[in-house]
Amino acid sequence: MKSVFSFWRDFIDLLFPRVCLACAGELVESEELVCTGCWAAIPKTQSHVHALPALHAKFAGRVAVKHVFSYFSFEKSSRVQNLLHELKYKNQTELGIVLGKFYGTDLRQIGYQGQLDLIVSVPLHPKKYQQRGYNQSDLFAEGLSAALGVPWSGVALQRATYTTTQTNKNRAERWQNVAGVFVAPNAADVAGKRVALVDDVMTTGATIESAVVTLLNAGCREVSVITIAAVM
Ligand SMILES: [Zn+2]
190 and 77 inside one domain = yes
Number of domains in the chain: 2
In this structure, the answer to whether residues 9 and 96 fall within a common structural domain is no
Length of the chain: 232
Instruction: Write down the pLDDT at residue 17.
Output: 77
For residue 105, what are the domain limits? Answer: 42-230
Answer yes or no: do 70 and 153 share one domain. yes
Residue 186 and residue 110 in one domain: yes
**Centre of ligand 1 from the C-alpha of residue 145, in Å:** 26
Note whether 33 and 78 are same-domain residues.
Answer: no
pLDDT digits (tens, 9 = 90+) for 22-65: 999 999 989 999 999 999 999 999 999 999 999 999 999 999 99
Question: Do 16 and 66 lie in a common domain?
Answer: no
Q: Does residue 20 sit in the same domain as residue 60?
A: no
User: Do 89 and 127 fall within a single domain?
Assistant: yes
State pTM to two decimals. 0.88
Q: Rounded to the nearest whole angstrom, what is the distance from the C-alpha of residue 67 to the centroid of ligand 1? A: 30
Q: How far is the CA of 103 from the centre of ligand 1 (A)?
A: 19
Cα dist from 167 to 44, 132, 170, 204, whole Å: 26, 20, 8, 12
Nearest CA among 25, 41, 52 for reference residue 78 = 41
Nearby residues of 104 by Cβ (< 8 Å), 6 or more positions away: 143, 144, 145, 146, 147, 148
Rounded Cα–Cα distance for residues 45 and 232 (Å): 9
Distance 175 CA to ligand 1 centre (A): 36
Q: What is the CATH number of the domain that holds 207?
A: 3.40.50.2020
More confident residue, 85 or 161: 85
